[in-house]
């Protein structure tokens, strides 16, 4: 199996772990109008990210690459940027989380052709993850449109 497949999957793994952590951080710290709907939507996003990260880690193991989901590695290598450690306005959280989801999906797409050529099973896994990340990003954009 190509090193590029392992590297791409590892990059996706840390982004998904970080999305799950930051999604919970936002979940706990959002305030303002439409709190409840975003609070619940963040739980859906976190649930997806956790399941997808497990799928990616298991795929890494299946291709004989040790997955690295340690907190220090996630903090050092995630591509989605940080999130506030304090209160976040609901209106800001929509854009913040949407941007992180889109960034993670875009990063998958950067390496998708290379991964798919070397390992179609890993490519298929990544296509499904990127599709769901983009769907969730779209749902956040749609929910944040001014009425």
Distance CA 110, CA 71 (A): 24
Residue 11 tokens, joined: 């990059």
The token pair that represents 47 in the structure block: 């649930």
**What structural domains does the chain harbor?**
3-143 (1.20.1260.10)
- Distance, in Å, from the CA atom of 24 to the CA atom of 44, rounded to the nearest integer, reads 10
Encode pLDDT of 60-100 as tens digits: 999 999 999 999 999 999 999 999 999 999 999 999 999 99
Residues making up the chain, counted from first to last: 147
pTM of the model: 0.96
Rounded Cα distance, 66 and 145, in Å? 42
DSSP state of 26: H
């Amino acid at each position: 199996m190509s090193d590029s497949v392992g590297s791409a999957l590892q990059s996706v793994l840390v982004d998904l772990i970080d999305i799950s952590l930051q999604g919970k951080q936002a979940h706990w710290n959002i305030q303002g109008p439409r709190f409840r709907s975003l609070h619940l939507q963040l739980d859906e996003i976190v649930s997806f990210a956790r399941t997808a990260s497990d799928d990616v880690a298991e795929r890494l193991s299946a291709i004989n690459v040790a997955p690295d989901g340690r907190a220090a590695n996630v903090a050092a290598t995630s591509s989605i940027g940080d999130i506030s450690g304090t209160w976040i306005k609901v209106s800001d959280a929509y854009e913040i989380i949407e941007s992180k989801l889109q960034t993670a999906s875009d990063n998958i797409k950067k390496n998708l052709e290379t991964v798919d050529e070397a390992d179609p099973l890993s490519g298929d896994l990544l296509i499904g993850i990127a599709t769901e990340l983009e769907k969730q990003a779209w749902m956040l954009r749609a929910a944040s449109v001014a009425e």
